[in-house]
Amino acid sequence: MQRDMRAVCDKHGITVCAFYPLGAPYLEIRTEEHPPLVEHPLVAKIASQRGKTTAQILLRHLIQHGLIVIPKSVRVERVKKNFQVFDFELSAEEMAQLDTLNRDGAGRMFTCDFYKGFERHPEYPF
Protein backbone atom coordinates (compact mmCIF):
# COMPACT_ATOMS: atom_id res chain seq x y z
CA MET A 1 0.00 0.00 0.00
CA GLN A 2 3.04 2.28 -0.32
CA ARG A 3 2.63 3.76 3.13
CA ASP A 4 5.72 6.02 2.93
CA MET A 5 4.63 7.51 -0.38
CA ARG A 6 1.09 7.99 0.93
CA ALA A 7 2.43 9.74 4.05
CA VAL A 8 4.31 12.24 1.84
CA CYS A 9 1.16 12.79 -0.25
CA ASP A 10 -0.92 13.30 2.92
CA LYS A 11 1.55 15.89 4.12
CA HIS A 12 1.21 17.83 0.87
CA GLY A 13 -2.57 17.42 0.46
CA ILE A 14 -2.26 15.08 -2.52
CA THR A 15 -5.04 12.51 -2.88
CA VAL A 16 -3.89 9.09 -4.03
CA CYS A 17 -5.80 6.78 -6.37
CA ALA A 18 -5.33 3.03 -5.87
CA PHE A 19 -3.89 1.20 -8.84
CA TYR A 20 -5.57 -2.22 -9.13
CA PRO A 21 -7.98 -1.56 -6.21
CA LEU A 22 -9.16 -5.18 -6.26
CA GLY A 23 -5.63 -6.47 -6.66
CA ALA A 24 -6.25 -7.10 -10.38
CA PRO A 25 -7.27 -10.74 -9.78
CA TYR A 26 -6.63 -11.57 -13.43
CA LEU A 27 -2.93 -10.71 -12.95
CA GLU A 28 -2.24 -11.97 -9.45
CA ILE A 29 0.03 -14.96 -9.22
CA ARG A 30 -1.89 -17.51 -7.19
CA THR A 31 0.08 -19.23 -4.44
CA GLU A 32 -1.13 -21.08 -1.37
CA GLU A 33 0.33 -18.37 0.85
CA HIS A 34 -0.95 -15.50 -1.29
CA PRO A 35 -4.28 -16.25 -2.96
CA PRO A 36 -5.88 -13.43 -5.00
CA LEU A 37 -7.19 -10.80 -2.59
CA VAL A 38 -10.81 -11.27 -3.75
CA GLU A 39 -10.50 -14.90 -2.61
CA HIS A 40 -8.33 -14.39 0.46
CA PRO A 41 -9.68 -16.27 3.54
CA LEU A 42 -9.31 -13.25 5.84
CA VAL A 43 -11.21 -11.00 3.42
CA ALA A 44 -13.81 -13.76 2.91
CA LYS A 45 -14.26 -14.10 6.69
CA ILE A 46 -14.90 -10.37 7.17
CA ALA A 47 -17.15 -10.33 4.09
CA SER A 48 -19.21 -13.21 5.44
CA GLN A 49 -19.53 -11.56 8.90
CA ARG A 50 -20.60 -8.31 7.25
CA GLY A 51 -22.91 -9.79 4.61
CA LYS A 52 -20.77 -8.14 1.92
CA THR A 53 -18.70 -9.35 -1.02
CA THR A 54 -14.94 -9.65 -0.75
CA ALA A 55 -14.62 -6.89 -3.35
CA GLN A 56 -16.76 -4.56 -1.22
CA ILE A 57 -14.52 -5.25 1.80
CA LEU A 58 -11.36 -4.55 -0.21
CA LEU A 59 -12.78 -1.32 -1.64
CA ARG A 60 -14.06 -0.12 1.73
CA HIS A 61 -10.68 -0.82 3.31
CA LEU A 62 -8.96 1.45 0.76
CA ILE A 63 -11.63 4.13 1.04
CA GLN A 64 -11.24 4.24 4.82
CA HIS A 65 -7.52 4.75 4.23
CA GLY A 66 -8.46 7.84 2.20
CA LEU A 67 -7.69 6.35 -1.19
CA ILE A 68 -9.72 6.85 -4.37
CA VAL A 69 -10.87 3.55 -5.89
CA ILE A 70 -11.88 2.97 -9.51
CA PRO A 71 -12.60 -0.76 -9.75
CA LYS A 72 -13.26 -2.12 -13.20
CA SER A 73 -15.71 -4.86 -14.15
CA VAL A 74 -17.35 -5.89 -17.41
CA ARG A 75 -20.27 -7.36 -15.40
CA VAL A 76 -23.17 -5.03 -14.60
CA GLU A 77 -24.02 -6.80 -11.35
CA ARG A 78 -20.45 -6.43 -10.09
CA VAL A 79 -20.32 -2.77 -11.09
CA LYS A 80 -23.51 -2.14 -9.09
CA LYS A 81 -22.25 -4.08 -6.07
CA ASN A 82 -18.83 -2.46 -6.18
CA PHE A 83 -20.61 0.88 -5.61
CA GLN A 84 -22.37 -0.38 -2.48
CA VAL A 85 -19.57 0.44 -0.08
CA PHE A 86 -20.98 3.51 1.65
CA ASP A 87 -23.55 1.79 3.87
CA PHE A 88 -21.11 0.24 6.34
CA GLU A 89 -17.88 1.01 8.13
CA LEU A 90 -15.05 -1.38 8.94
CA SER A 91 -14.04 -1.37 12.61
CA ALA A 92 -10.53 -0.44 13.70
CA GLU A 93 -9.91 -4.14 14.35
CA GLU A 94 -11.07 -5.16 10.86
CA MET A 95 -8.93 -2.40 9.33
CA ALA A 96 -5.90 -3.62 11.30
CA GLN A 97 -6.54 -7.21 10.18
CA LEU A 98 -6.81 -6.14 6.54
CA ASP A 99 -3.66 -4.03 6.90
CA THR A 100 -1.75 -7.25 7.60
CA LEU A 101 -2.34 -8.21 3.95
CA ASN A 102 -0.04 -5.36 2.91
CA ARG A 103 3.10 -6.80 1.31
CA ASP A 104 4.80 -3.51 0.43
CA GLY A 105 7.20 -3.95 -2.49
CA ALA A 106 6.70 -7.72 -2.59
CA GLY A 107 3.06 -7.24 -3.54
CA ARG A 108 3.68 -4.55 -6.10
CA MET A 109 2.48 -5.70 -9.52
CA PHE A 110 3.03 -2.59 -11.61
CA THR A 111 6.67 -1.53 -11.45
CA CYS A 112 6.99 0.59 -14.61
CA ASP A 113 10.23 -1.27 -15.34
CA PHE A 114 9.28 -1.42 -19.00
CA TYR A 115 10.09 2.32 -19.17
CA LYS A 116 13.75 2.29 -20.17
CA GLY A 117 15.98 4.23 -17.75
CA PHE A 118 13.11 4.62 -15.25
CA GLU A 119 15.41 3.66 -12.36
CA ARG A 120 17.67 6.63 -13.12
CA HIS A 121 14.93 9.14 -12.32
CA PRO A 122 16.19 11.29 -9.37
CA GLU A 123 13.16 10.41 -7.28
CA TYR A 124 13.12 6.68 -8.12
CA PRO A 125 11.55 4.52 -6.66
CA PHE A 126 9.10 7.27 -5.67
Ligand X SMILES: NC(=O)c1ccc[n+]([C@@H]2O[C@H](COP(=O)([O-])OP(=O)(O)OC[C@H]3O[C@@H](n4cnc5c(N)ncnc54)[C@H](OP(=O)(O)O)[C@@H]3O)[C@@H](O)[C@H]2O)c1
Does residue 50 bind ligand X (CB under 6 A)?
no
Burial class (CB in 10 A: 0-12, 13-18, 19+), 110: exposed
Does residue 85 bind ligand X (CB under 6 A)?
no
Per CB under 6 A, the list member of 1, 28, 38, 47 interacting with ligand X is 38
User: How far is C-alpha 26 from the geometric centre of its chain's CA atoms?
Assistant: 14
Which span (42-50, 77-85, 92-100, 116-124) binds ligand X, by CB under 6 A? 77-85
Hey, is 86 helix, strand or coil? coil
* Cβ–Cβ < 8 Å for 82, 105: no
Does residue 114 bind ligand X (CB under 6 A)?
no
Nearest approach in angstroms of CB 11 to ligand X is 25
